[in-house]
Amino acid sequence: MRLDKKGDGVSSNFTNKCRQHGSLFTVVRKSQEDRFAFIAEWYDPNAALLRRYQLLYYPKDGSVEMFDLKNHRSFLRRTKYDDLHLEDLFVGNKINVFSRHLNLVDYGDQYTSRKLGSRKERTLGMIKPDAINRMGAILEMIYSTGLSITKMKMVLLSRKEAMDFYAEHQSKFFFSNLIQFMTSGPVVAMEILGDNAVSAWRKLLGPTDTSKARSEAPETIRAQYGTDGTKNAAHGSDSVASAARELEFFFPSSGGRGPANTAKLTDCTCCIIKPHAVSEGLAGTIVSAISGAGFEISAMQMFNMERANAEEFYEVYKGVVAEYNSMVVELCSGSCIALEIRGTDAPRTFREFCGPADPEIARHLRPKTLRALLGKNKIQNAVHCTDLPEDGILEVQYFFKILDG
């Protein structure tokens, strides 16, 4: 399927823009205008192929252009795209261009490398069992410092998994207590991205020993939510090398799954923190609100939805609500976070907690509901929640059993 400005299928206007351009390397930058070049990859599920493009970004007007590297032809003529920003452009990042998820794998020229090459790093952040009930507040602290979360998964480590992860501490006196603690409840593993992310995250964590953190860095995570040197709320990689190894443990790039999610798939309902809310840094606020209302978040995971998945998930709304296409576009416009919510009569009570789908109506009729407080419009209304009680388990299964299967 060709990209479309609206993200909803083939566009004749777009197709007309995709004419032959000759070798992409003959593209010449106008002297009076900056443009940045990247090599981007996209996995085409229909053809089971990894496709590679040159992506050009023009900061003057926020326009993008794409060239098919294999076929040496234009794929997207220069088009204004407001949802992509200069700060999104760095090697290793995943971006969304007209509902297509692209991985930026390299700089396209020396000019771009020199101008935009930065100290962006990825590190592992892990919320430990003792701080799970404060994970919303911790997420808020992460976003408030300018760091971003690019992967997230709640898991319950087995004894073997915990021992493998902490193998370097096997000979230390605290190893047995550490393993017992780390397997006592769920943890949330996160890939954290940012400038000098390893040191920035460790600074936000504070000293390993909680008492020291309270005296030396009282605003840090461990000072506020930790108990001692082991039950200290969260973990952070101590180097770039450690980060790479620890991220591979939880989020393997080799095709493996890593530790299993914690979904119970019983007596539950589904919540999705929508991409616009994630990109606006509202995930922590939403998680805190859900927990504060007495609901149990028994599973949580970040997903990047392909259009086909979004269409399948929202299929029940096709032909029923006028906003179906826009709902699909929003759901696959960036990272979303799926949650399994449990509580008394969870589908009904959680739907009431979220409020009417239209935030404007919610603000008039139920001003204290989640959508009234955080929603922008009927499409970007902060969260999706299961509408029908009988669909609660089915929607949770779609994310935590099918997509993460």
The whole-angstrom separation of Cα 103 and Cα 59 is: 19
User: Which residues in the chain are classed under CATH 2.30.29.170?
Assistant: 12-116
94-97 vs 100-107, strand pairing mode: antiparallel
Sign, Cα dihedral of 154, 158, 161, 167: positive
Which pLDDT score is estimated for 166? 95
134: left (phi over 0), alpha (psi -120 to 50) or beta: alpha
DSSP assignment of 206-275, as one string? --SSHHHHHHH-TTSHHHHH--SSSS-SEEE-SSHHHHHHHHHHHS-SSS---SPB----SSEEEEEE-H
What Cα–Cα distance (Å) separates residue 200 from each residue in 120, 192, 275? 11, 10, 25
DSSP assignment of 292-341, as one string? HTT-EEEEEEEEE--HHHHHHHTGGGTTT-TTHHHHHHHHTSSEEEEEEE
Token code pair at residue 156:
């319950």
**For residue 374, how many other CB atoms are within 10 A of its CB?**
24
The whole-angstrom separation of Cα 265 and Cα 291 is: 19
CATH T-level fold of 268-403? Alpha-Beta Plaits (3.30.70)
117-126 in b/e burial notation, b at 16+ Cβ within 10 A?
Answer: eeeebbbbbb
Q: How far is C-alpha 229 from the geometric centre of its chain's CA atoms?
A: 30
H helices within 58-157, ranges in order? 110-116, 135-144
Nearest to 280 by CA among 154, 140, 384: 140
Query: Domain 120-250 class?
Result: alpha beta
User: Which residues in the chain are classed under CATH 3.30.70.141?
Assistant: 120-250, 268-403
Token code pair at residue 13:
């206007």
Beta bridge partners of 194: 121
Looking at the chain, the number of H-run helices and the number of E-run strands are 17, 14
Token code pair at residue 352:
């009431």
**Active-site residue, selected from the candidate residues 101, 235, 276, 384:** 235
Token code pair at residue 107:
């700089």
Q: What SS3 state is found at 95? A: strand
Which pLDDT score is estimated for 254? 67
Question: What are the mean pLDDT values of the chain's consecutive 10-residue runs (405 residues total)?
Answer: 38 38 40 79 80 94 94 93 87 84 89 82 96 97 94 97 94 92 97 94 96 96 93 95 94 84 96 96 98 97 93 93 94 94 94 97 97 97 95 96 89
384 is catalytic: no
The whole-angstrom separation of Cα 111 and Cα 244 is: 28
Amino acid at 110: Q
The whole-angstrom separation of Cα 354 and Cα 343 is: 14
**For residue 115, how many other CB atoms are within 10 A of its CB?**
13
Residues 6+ apart with CB under 8 A from 263: 298, 299, 340, 396, 400, 401
Q: How far is C-alpha 48 from the geometric centre of its chain's CA atoms?
A: 24
Please compute Rg for the chain using Cα positions.
22
Nearest to 302 by CA among 94, 4, 82, 41: 94
Of the candidate CATH numbers 1.20.1250.20, 3.50.50.60, 3.30.70.260, 2.30.29.170, the domain formed by 12-116 belongs to 2.30.29.170
Residue reference for tokens 């009282």:
218
Residues 6+ apart with CB under 8 A from 287: 135, 136, 139, 273, 297, 300, 339
